[in-house]
Structure 1
Amino acid sequence: MLCFVLKLIAIAVKAAWGLSKIVLFLIAGPILLVAMAVCGLVSLAFPILIICGILALICSGGRAR
């Protein structure tokens, strides 16, 4: 019984981690970049955007989706 509960907790933690990565990447990231641009921090927002774009190309293997 304890083993089952521990496995269930492990699955829940993995699911929550995956969900939080998706939320942070798709929602919080663009909101942060827009807020930085609005506040006048374009000199920081553009390099972050460029770095994220390069990382996205590297992670996807260079193929467009």
Structure 2
Amino acid sequence: MNAELAGVFSTVGQTIEDRYGNPVTVDADFNGKKFAKAVAGPLADLKQRGNTITWTFRNVE
């Protein structure tokens, strides 16, 4: 995840950066293993076959 992928958040008019204005890039997990490419959550580790993704929608009012 980086500023280019995230874009500009409309609520604040800014992208992902540290308090000094430097871009922030998250390209490794908590153990330091580098990601192959930036993809969100469960889609990041898909295999060629046998993947099942179940989306659950809740009515939030």
Q: TM-score range by the shorter chain?
A: under 0.3
TM-score norm. by structure 1 comes to: 0.23
Q: Which has the higher helix share?
A: 1
**Structure 2-normalised TM-score?**
0.24
Q: Whose relative contact order is higher, 1 or 2, with alpha carbons under 8 Å and at least 6 apart? A: 2
Question: Whose radius of gyration is greater, 1 or 2?
Answer: 1
